[in-house]
Structure 1
Amino acid sequence: MDPFDIPIEPIRPPHIEIDPSLRTITRGVDSRAAIDAAVPEVRATTDVHLNNFEKSTVTHVVIQVTISRQVQIFKYIGYQYDWAVPSPFWDFLGRIASKAIFDDQVDLRELNFVAIGRREFVAYTTSTWRAAANAQKAAGLAGLEGLPPLNVIEVNFKKPQPGQPIEVTWAPARALFTAKIREWNERAGKPLDHQNPDKPQADKTGPDVEETALPSSGGEA
């Protein structure tokens, strides 16, 4: 059985402790402006044999992160994490990954996500891919015709340590991830509600929400 055919219900955290010393996101603004904080110092690590990997050809990034890790990351940054309003936090995670892996030379934007229990897999497009997609659209081409080959990487966040840079690890994505990215790029879908992923919300902006089984790499530590 294809694991993508196995629906797994996203689980709302039973309790996220509210820390009154932390800031809360600004509501009613674009998600990229909702967290008014500088991206912290970061460090990216990968296997030695990938040191010469050509990152300029990356088209998509998949961040896999648990709810508890997001709570830790945003506490480190000075913000209270809110599971019910995911987009500002996903956007900021993308900015952290961009700084760590691409030295802020690549703008990551959310494409879609899969929630499995309390773990979220958030897919992003790179600015390189979006430029190619815009050119393809202008040329009147459909599907993935005329676009560069998919080159997807997976990213995990380690537990933040006081006084230390946030550390991320990355590696080329497994075939299962790349296949899902291909599917998401080939189809058009309405955004779905984060809390009820099988209920379309046509008036809600942001990435699609889909409940699908994706394997964890076990990267969080």
Structure 2
Amino acid sequence: MMAVMSGELFPRSRSEVAPGAVHLPDWLPPERQRELLEACRAWALPPAGLRTVRTPGGGTMSARQVCLGWHWYPYGYARTVTDGDGAPVKPFPQWLGDLARQGVRDALGVAECSSPYDIALINFYEEGARMGMHRDSDEDADDPVVSLSLGDACVFRFGNVESRGRPYVDVELRSGDLFVFGGPARLAYHGVPRVEPGSGPPELGLRGRLNITLRVSGRPIPAA
């Protein structure tokens, strides 16, 4: 699934940022990026659409978010948008889970995960938005986290499992890039200190950055 961006003098290559954390540039070809963008636009519509996340301290996240499968709120999961319009969370499509598993195979060489992927957190970064250092620790499973980028490039800061501070590595993520972290890196702190406005591919037609983060909840499906 690897595709080389046109105009690259030296095509970017796979890199292991830390044990268990791998960056695969240009993993999604342009047509798949467009398909994923159109799906994100549909998911962002109400009900259970794009929302501003409010933190327990009374602040707000600058990146807006929509969830699939399970609704994330600080710091837990629900089946309805408990901190929004109260609507049932949108379903997680099987094709998105297939994409996550393919990403894990390509990045880490892992054939299977313990459970199906069933969560998508989709964050939309407009100009000036960022994400502070945090860990993805609200799941009941330790399967790798799969991150896909669309639109503007960003600085993705990948740290350590002990604290939000150094050591960390800054990685440029561009539209179509895949980043997977699992194993010893599964609970590493990470964040987005900066997005580069206007740096996305013009043909995609997206102003801003979308990050699609795919996870395994490890939770049973509630009875209907």
Bigger proportion of residues as helix: 1
Q: Same fold (TM over 0.5)?
A: no
Bigger proportion of residues as strand: 2
